[in-house]
Amino acid sequence: MSKVFALNAGSSSLKFSIYEIPSEEVVASGVIDRIGLGDSNITIKYNGEKHQDVKDVMDHDQATKTLLDKLESLNIIEDYDEIAGTGHRVVAGGERFKESALIDEEGLKTIEDLSEYAPLHNPAEAQVIRAFQELLPGKPAVAAFDTSFHTTMPEKAYLYGTPYEYYEKYGARRYGAHGTSHKYVSQRAAELMDKSVEEVNIITCHIGNGASITAVQGGQSIDTSMGFTPVAGVVMGTRSGDVDPSLLEFVMRKENLSMEEMLAVLNNKSGLLGISGVSSDMRDVEAAADQGNERAKIALEVYVNAVKRYIGSYLFELNGADAIVFTAGVGENSPEFRQAVLENTDRLGIELDKERNESVEEGLISTDDSKVKVFVIPTDEELMIVRDTVRLGNIK
């Protein structure tokens, strides 16, 4: 039996899951947070127990080494030889990576070169890949890119209405994100419909802290709501989603903000948090709205309306959909949110089954008569990454 790691490096965190192959069972998982900030929490879940430690972890290279040391000291890994390969989520793959790839030195350089498109993520992810390659020489490292699934978008969907030379010179275009999740849930929805993914149109709604909606035609992404970066599209936990660029210049002048500060507001202080003033967490905002907080109520309405706007436009772009799928933290766990999004859509052939919507964990939540099927499907990006690692790394 071999072990394969799925790694997800954020700007200041490193999440991991360890899978046993071929059973695809998760044997351990956890996270190191506050990387670079001091007092990092190292949390490892193993055998139903949670192990915690605090240590100063100053970069992702040190985080990787700390993680492997910790796994050895807990006897989760006895020998590095047990580790057959590592799979890494990478945010920006640009136009270069149209699918997951086995990463060699040249691939690693390309990931680093793409850092301009994801300055907080790609350098951290490259550092983790490099650290594993040093610690486990010769073991396959596979990168799964958030953007790959969207590289099938046609020009008419990915180009902005800006001068074409910006695209030619700088790659200024829509790249999208959450691709691994949109791919997984669209394939799973086709399975649940007993159809091949090539013969169906599906609109996938990944609604977590970050949120994006994708139009999937015959298994390929043809349009998606996130843009050059993940700040675009629908309203999210702390991100604004789409805004008129002129508004930014106006607010920057009024509030005396630099572009960098304005972007930090759009990424970290907007969305549910910015409108409600309560929290970026959907549970808190729903609870506040239930208690009559008006700004929490309007934050939910703006969020729901943004999701409706995108689903509506994709229904039109796709000339109708066979299914709509909800996934990620909010999409999987908030029946209220799903119901609000699909309220008043019966004339479009969409009919939610209230009881199924309240109780189903994975499966159909529309009525048997609904022309468009609606599904809840828990996403599993890690499993997709591990499967790509096993396939590309030729792991038995």
- Annotated binding residues, as ranges? 8, 15, 89, 206-210, 281-283, 329-333, 381
Q: Is 33 a catalytic residue?
A: no
Which residues are annotated as part of the binding site for ATP? Answer: 15, 206-210, 281-283, 329-333
Least Å distance, CB 251 to ligand ADP, is 25
Q: What is the DSSP letter of 372?
A: B
**Secondary structure class of 241 (helix, strand, coil):** coil
User: Within the chain, how many helices (H) and strands (E) appear?
Assistant: 15, 14
Least Å distance, CB 212 to ligand ADP, is 10
Q: What angle do CA 27, 31, 35 make, to 5 degrees?
A: 150
Which residue(s) pair with 102 in the sheet?
142
Nearer Cβ to ligand ADP (13/115) = 13
Give the Cα separation of 339 and 358 in Å (integer). Answer: 9
Tokens 């997800």 sit on residue? 8
SS3 assignment for 42-97: EEEEECCEEEEEEECCCCHHHHHHHHHHHHHHCCCCCCHHHEEEEEEEECCCCCCC
Tokens 């072990």 sit on residue? 3
Q: What is the DSSP letter of 211?
A: E
What tokens were used for 294? 């008006």
Q: Which of 33, 59, 61, 146 is catalytic?
A: 146
Q: How many CB atoms lie within 10 A of CB 91?
A: 26
What residues contact residue 315 under an 8 Å CB cut-off, 6+ apart? Answer: 203, 321, 348
Give the Cα separation of 236 and 208 in Å (integer). Answer: 8
Give the Cα separation of 61 and 10 in Å (integer). Answer: 13
Least Å distance, CB 367 to ligand ADP, is 23
Nearer Cβ to ligand ADP (303/310) = 303
Which residue(s) pair with 155 in the sheet?
none
Q: Which residues bind ligand ADP (CB under 6 A)?
A: 208-210, 237, 281-283, 286, 328-330, 333-334
Residue whose C-beta lies closest to ligand ADP: 329
Give the Cα separation of 5 and 29 in Å (integer). Answer: 9
Q: For the chain, report the end-to-end CA distance as a whole number of angstroms.
A: 8
Instruction: Calculate the dihedral angle through the C-alpha atoms of 156, 160, 165, 170, rounding to the nearest 10 degrees.
Output: -110
Which residues are annotated as part of the binding site for substrate? Answer: 89
Give the Cα separation of 42 and 343 in Å (integer). Answer: 43
Helix H segments across 137-277? 155-158, 164-170, 179-192, 245-255, 259-268, 271-276
Sign for the CA dihedral angle at 9, 14, 20, 25 comes to negative
Active site amino acids? 146
